[in-house]
Amino acid sequence: MTPRDSAGPVRSLKFVTLLVALSPDLLRWGAGLQLRDNGYEELLVALHPQVSEDPSLIPHIKEMITEASFYLFNATKRRVFFRSIKILIPATWTANNYSKVKQESYEKAQVLVTDWHAAPGDSPHTLQYRGCGKEGKYIHFTPDFLLNDALTAGYGSRGRVFVHEWAHLRWGVFDEYNREKPFYINGQNQVKVTRCSSDITGVFVCEKGPCPQENCIISKLFKEGCMFLFNSTQHATASIMFMQSLPSVVEFCNASTHNQEAPNLQNQLCSLRSAWDVIRASGDFQHSEPMKGTELPPPPTFTLLQAGDRVVCLVLDVSSRMAEADRLLRLQQAAAFYLTHMVESHTFVGIASFNGQGEIRAQLHQINSDDDRKLLVSYLPAAVSAEAEASVCSGLKKGFEVVEKLKGKAFGSVMILAASGGDQRISDCFLAALSSGSTVHTLALGSSAVDSLEELARLTGGLKFFVPDKSDSTSMIDAFSRISSGTGDVFQQHIQLESTGETVKPHHQLTNSVTVDDGVGNDTTFLVTWQTGGPPEMVLRDPNGRKYHTDDFVTSLALQTARLWIPGTAQPGLWTYTLNNSHHSPQALKVTVTSRASLPAVPPATVEAFVERDSTRFPHPMMIYAIVRRGFYPILNATVTATVEPEAADPVTLRLLDDGAGADVIKNDGIYSRYFFSFAGNGRYSLKVHVSHPASVSAATRSGPGSHAMYVPGYITNGNIQMNAPRKPVGRSEEEQKWGLSRAASGGSFSVLGVPAGPHPDMFPPCKIVDLEAVKVEEEVALSWTAPGEDFDQGQAKSYEIRISKSLQNIQDDFNSAILVNSSKLKPQQAGTKETFTFSPELFTNGPEHQADGETQRSHRIYVAIRAVDRNSLRSAVSNVAQASLSVPPNSTPVLARDDLILKGVLTAISFIGVICLTIVIIHCTLNRKKRADKRGNETKLL
């Protein structure tokens, strides 16, 4: 066991002891959203800075969440409700005696309210980036949705919509409708509308009114002018994840009401489990029993917060450890660039340092000009101390003193803490950090920094970074570049376009290019840094061919940096740079390029990189994510590469994918993901992501992001069709990107424990296949899916195991007993490749298949599942279950909804009665004619 492994439990015990001693109020400050005594506390709703000031928004938010609280309480059978809510008011709104923020910020909110160019219509949505049962990232509403009462006709009441989205966010359940597959054929060869539960009724509607389904369905789509409308009056009570707008719907689908055959994301991603089953398995429900009695919970309480002046203090380690691996020099370079270009104007900035004691180096200065920035740079520490001891708490204490001089408190301030030493007493100042109301971002420099540094960041809601001792690593500058104001206003923030480093041999060059797209270009800066010798020879060429040389850069020999600022708006296109090492020894050369938005109302493309959790233990992999988007819209077809730097090994690069397979949950949602398990050893790992997008490849998406509450186009009310207003489109048709795209972003750090020494045993199976599809083609069934890997989603599996059944329940509950399909000739391809396989179901389904109870089941469908096997016989989890119809439903006997059957029965009865009446009339007329003829005959005889 390594020293770090053995020290971990001791530190954890000390940490737990400290938490027990902390007061409940302080714990709640650090914990954020939590469930206590059946009530959710500290839920944060944040309004974007560009939302126009409208006081009526706040009452509507309160009304929505209050209604949602009671609806949620009943839907969860008296288990959970909302107790306390914080609403973050933009600093751009008029001050109105709002409370001051502490660690809260827009970027930490669970609910976002945004109304700017990139908002996808008025459709509420939840960004889900992980699998079934996992929390999402945020819920999004537009102000128009909150204020426009006309939208409730299509969505239902706002409180109901909020509960639908909350289930996405908190419990990781998915939508039970499917716009792309609005109907399916069930096991009895009947056409069914995709819904949950199946008891929800409605009718097919053509242009002229109700019509038979055979007049509406073509292949997999509705004919133009056709749709399926649900009755506004229902008896079904489920499900909230299908159609929360129906008044009768008051609960989630459970095991008895769930429709397992419906082709929706809930079935696909949750292994056919009902929404209620997934919710019941959540941590919330494992630790909360239903409330006793019949009383409703109290309504939520609301606190209105508003951020004040932006206040930042750099707290920098100057102990003798900072002399190792040029840590101080690299810290100076990154901090100077942050002060010169990254931190927003009008921010108050101070500087403190520490070794065994803390020292204030610069009191707060407000940045209003370049001279203010230069002055702050001059206060950065220029040399290390002879003292090896580093007291983080002493440095933080001085940092708090700096920020408290502005308004007496540190509420809402930010500490950027960079530390390299093995200070074992950091936990001594957890209480002070929590009570300060300040957010502490931490940079662990080198492998000797203790783990409690990250605990300090986590408790205060800060970001955490690891900077390895590698001369060509850009992790230090990347960390400072990631730390923004937290307001969510990308128009005021710098965006990192490029970040790269390389050790260049003597008289060799580092040549590369970066794309400046038309969404950025203002305040564009190229930064070049080096560690030894003098500056390299620099040549920068813009898209028009203009060259900038070494003399055009502003060079600081003390900081060993060279900067070139492009005035105005940089020319969009490809900028090429060449750095020539003209010295006789190798040089670690690094390049960073930043810019800001060029247009005031069009958000630039951004990338947000992060990992699933703070730490993992071998052999559990770490999931890496990168959200690439413009505003709220995903950017598709990008090349996204993650670079992971361990403490004492070479960096590992990994291509992230948005293909809806492996670690990626949903295809084409702009969230690029991958499993990472190439662990070099125990310790910290730093993450950075690069994004590139060629100008020739479309980045447009036609669908909005995330999981949406259903908008109902209309209802059948008392037999009449009542249509709602058409919904605003949630997608966009974007012109082809003219200039391409370049982005870079730090994803922070994570730690790994339990990695065995020496070669690792193979403990990584292929990942689960989640996108299996089956289609009947003539007399065969064609399968398609994305290939998993030898290890999760990397490499190449050895074989596939495909099984079929005529019973959905059988193949789901007992995959090993289902019929095995001969797939010996099917050789798995490289992970991420689209696989296809065709077989004849008649070879496997001629005989009856028996249920466990001995009854024979007749079915017109087969159900297929698959799993992959690697060369060490490790098997993946069983895939999602795909379905294929073995026969086409006869149009002469369509399966209609209950109202269709009633309507058809009434029409049949009327027709039957009409035929009888007509027959009676004909018979009556015939008899009358015969009587008249007989009478005339008799008269003739008499004559």
Domain at 497, CATH number: 2.60.120.380
Tokens encoding 247: 């008044």
- 770 vs 665: CA distance, rounded Å: 8
Same domain as 660, residue 647: yes
Tokens encoding 418: 């960079």
- Contacts for 582 with CB less than 8 Å, ≥ 6 apart: 507, 536, 537
CATH number of the domain bearing residue 644: 2.60.40.1930
Same domain as 634, residue 495: no
Query: Helix 3-21 and helix 452-459: axis angle, to 10°?
Result: 30
CA distances to 175, 177, 182 from 715, in Å: 20, 16, 16
Query: Is 237 part of a structural domain of the chain?
Result: no
- Tell me whether the omega of the peptide bond preceding residue 619 falls within 30 degrees of 0, making it cis: yes
- Contacts for 762 with CB less than 8 Å, ≥ 6 apart: 791, 870, 872, 874
Same domain as 665, residue 546: no
Q: Give the position of tokens 């609403």.
A: 87
Of the three residues 886, 906, 938, the one that is the final residue of a domain is: 886
Same domain as 516, residue 655: no
CA distances to 234, 248, 520, 625, 901 from 202, in Å: 9, 14, 50, 41, 11
- In 617-667, alpha helices (H): none
Query: Is 914 part of a structural domain of the chain?
Result: no
pLDDT per residue as tens digits for the range 80-114: 999 999 999 999 899 888 999 999 999 999 999 99
Report the 10 Å Cβ neighbour count for 364. Answer: 20
- Tell me whether the omega of the peptide bond preceding residue 481 falls within 30 degrees of 0, making it cis: no
Query: Is 1 part of a structural domain of the chain?
Result: no
Same domain as 346, residue 299: no
Give the total number of structural domains in the chain.
Answer: 5
Furthest CA-CA distance within the chain: 151
Q: Parallel, antiparallel, or unpaired for β 439-445 and 464-467?
A: parallel
Q: Residue 86 class from Cβ within 10 Å (0-12 exposed, 13-18 middle, 19+ buried)?
A: buried
CA distances to 224, 811, 812, 839 from 803, in Å: 38, 8, 11, 11
- 840 vs 862: CA distance, rounded Å: 11
Helix H or strand E segment including 400? helix 392-407
CATH number of the domain bearing residue 430: 3.40.50.410
- 814 vs 807: CA distance, rounded Å: 11
Residues 334 and 327 sit within 8 Å (Cβ to Cβ): no
Give the active site residue among 67, 165, 251, 455.
165
Q: Which amino acid is at 703?
A: S
Tally helices (H) and strands (E) across the chain: 18, 53
Same domain as 454, residue 544: no
Report the DSSP beta bridge partners of residue 746. Answer: 688
Query: Is 181 part of a structural domain of the chain?
Result: no
Instruction: Give the CA dihedral 898, 903, 905, 909, nearest 10 degrees.
Output: 160
Q: Residue 26 class from Cβ within 10 Å (0-12 exposed, 13-18 middle, 19+ buried)?
A: middle
Of the three residues 411, 443, 462, the one that is the final residue of a domain is: 462
Query: Is 120 part of a structural domain of the chain?
Result: yes
Same domain as 399, residue 300: no
Query: Is 446 part of a structural domain of the chain?
Result: yes
Report the 10 Å Cβ neighbour count for 847. Answer: 9
Of the three residues 306, 341, 365, the one that is the final residue of a domain is: 306
Q: Which amino acid is at 260?
A: Q
pLDDT score of 915 = 46
pLDDT score of 860 = 75
Edge to edge, the sheet with strand 861-869 lists 819-821, 799-805, 861-869, 882-885
List strand residue ranges (DSSP E) for 851-920, in order: 856-857, 861-869, 882-885
- 503 vs 335: CA distance, rounded Å: 22
pLDDT score of 213 = 83
pLDDT score of 937 = 45
Q: Give the position of tokens 């650090």.
A: 30
Q: Give the position of tokens 């990695």.
A: 755
Tokens encoding 865: 């599942």
pLDDT per residue as tens digits for the range 373-427: 999 999 999 999 999 999 999 999 999 999 999 989 999 999 999 999 889 999 9
Report the 10 Å Cβ neighbour count for 355. Answer: 23
| Global confidence as pTM | 0.89
Closest CA to 510 of 440, 587, 450: 587
Closest CA to 611 of 170, 129, 105: 129
Chain Cα centroid distance, residue 746: 17
- 450 vs 425: CA distance, rounded Å: 10
- Contacts for 437 with CB less than 8 Å, ≥ 6 apart: 29, 100, 101, 102, 103, 409, 410, 411, 412, 413
- Contacts for 325 with CB less than 8 Å, ≥ 6 apart: 446, 469, 470, 471
Query: Is 110 part of a structural domain of the chain?
Result: yes
Tell me which residue range forms the domain holding 369. 309-462
Same domain as 45, residue 34: yes
Edge to edge, the sheet with strand 720-723 lists 209-210, 202-206, 227-231, 714-717, 720-723
Same domain as 458, residue 315: yes
- 859 vs 902: CA distance, rounded Å: 27
- 472 vs 208: CA distance, rounded Å: 70
Q: How is residue 879 annotated by DSSP? A: -
Same domain as 126, residue 66: yes
Query: Is 57 part of a structural domain of the chain?
Result: yes
User: Is the sign of the CA dihedral 466, 470, 472, 476 positive or negative?
Assistant: positive
Query: What does pLDDT average to in each consecutive run of 10 residues of the chain (943 residues)?
Result: 41 45 48 90 96 94 98 97 97 90 95 73 90 96 94 96 98 95 85 93 87 81 86 96 97 97 95 97 92 96 95 97 96 98 95 97 97 98 94 98 95 97 92 95 92 93 96 96 89 95 96 96 97 95 97 97 97 97 95 94 93 95 96 92 95 96 94 96 97 80 72 93 80 60 97 90 94 92 97 96 94 95 95 95 61 47 96 96 81 39 39 50 56 46 27
SS3 state at 75: helix
- Contacts for 863 with CB less than 8 Å, ≥ 6 apart: 804, 805, 806, 807, 808, 811, 812, 881, 882, 883
Q: How is residue 303 annotated by DSSP? A: E
Q: Give the position of tokens 């000390």.
A: 14
CA distances to 283, 486, 496, 705, 738 from 519, in Å: 42, 21, 13, 20, 11
- 768 vs 787: CA distance, rounded Å: 10
Same domain as 130, residue 119: yes
- Tell me whether the omega of the peptide bond preceding residue 513 falls within 30 degrees of 0, making it cis: no
Q: Which amino acid is at 228?
A: F
- 228 vs 195: CA distance, rounded Å: 11
pLDDT score of 920 = 53
SS3 state at 447: coil
Q: What is the DSSP string of 523-547?
A: EEEEEEEESSSSPPEEEEE-TT--E
Catalytic (active site) residue 165:
yes
Closest CA to 300 of 63, 96, 105, 100: 63
CA distances to 178, 212, 318 from 203, in Å: 17, 8, 74
Same domain as 452, residue 558: no
Q: How many CA atoms lie within 13 A of 611 on its CB side?
A: 28
